[in-house]
Amino acid sequence: MTTAELTRILRATDLFGSVPAEDLDAVAAASRVRVFRRGQVVCTAGDRGDTVIVVLSGRLKVVVRSADGGQLTLTVVQPGGVFGELAAVDGGPRSADAETLEECQLLLIPQELVHDICARVPAAALAVAQSLAAILRRLTEGASDLVFLDLPRRVAKVLLSQPRDEDGTIRLKMSQEEIAHQAAATRQSVNAALRGFEKRGWIDVHDRVVSVKQPTALAQFAGN
């Protein structure tokens, strides 16, 4: 991938969209593109957080794990998404694992470049602050859902959080096990919730692909 192509992708992100062109060119030139296979671990909790990572293609999940092997998916990062801002800003270790859901191309941006740009470009520093605020809001909402929502409503919110196709339809590109990791549930309980939604006509399940047919009804059920 050329420097010009990387610069164009960086320009489209919320984090780097306000950065001057010459700085973006420098970031693109100094960063590394790496390809990861499906199911490959990108980083683990406790690793040195010395890069901010932009997803060029593919999807990955950010997950925390328990000592007995349980896991909770905090977020799924789509193409054009950014993660690793927290460790890069405070200099601390990674707070969660990142694992690819499919083959991914990732751009690894050195921490010192992010620091330098934020020191010189106020809009970039504000974008980082806004990104961290969005992470905090998402985690706060997730914690609230775990306490106050039953399993079917948590599953509904996971479905509604997925990106929409050009025609506005939500077609899930994840397995029931992956849904369970986001909803803090078992695959069997997720399957039961999906069958209930299908009986109500809110979703369609065909060849293991879930499509949301009535997002408004599903959102009302979830309390959105």
The three-state secondary structure class of 42 is strand
Length of the chain, please? 224
For residues 79 and 64, give the distance between their C-alpha atoms in angstroms, rounded to a whole number. 21
CATH of 150-222, one of 1.10.10.10, 3.30.40.10, 2.70.160.11, 3.90.650.10: 1.10.10.10
What pTM was computed for the model? 0.82
For the chain, the domains span 3-146, 150-222
Helices 122-148 and 111-120, packing angle to 10 deg = 120
Per-residue confidence in pLDDT tens, the chain, 224 aa: 888 899 999 999 988 998 898 899 999 999 999 999 999 999 999 999 999 999 999 999 999 998 888 889 999 999 999 999 887 788 889 999 999 999 999 999 999 999 999 899 899 999 999 999 999 999 999 999 999 999 999 999 999 988 888 777 788 878 899 999 999 999 999 999 999 999 999 999 887 788 999 999 999 999 87
Architecture per CATH, domain 3-146, reads as Sandwich (2.60)
For residues 135 and 139, give the distance between their C-alpha atoms in angstroms, rounded to a whole number. 6
Cβ-based neighbours of 131, under 8 Å, separated by 6 or more: 14, 15, 82, 85
For residues 70 and 74, give the distance between their C-alpha atoms in angstroms, rounded to a whole number. 13
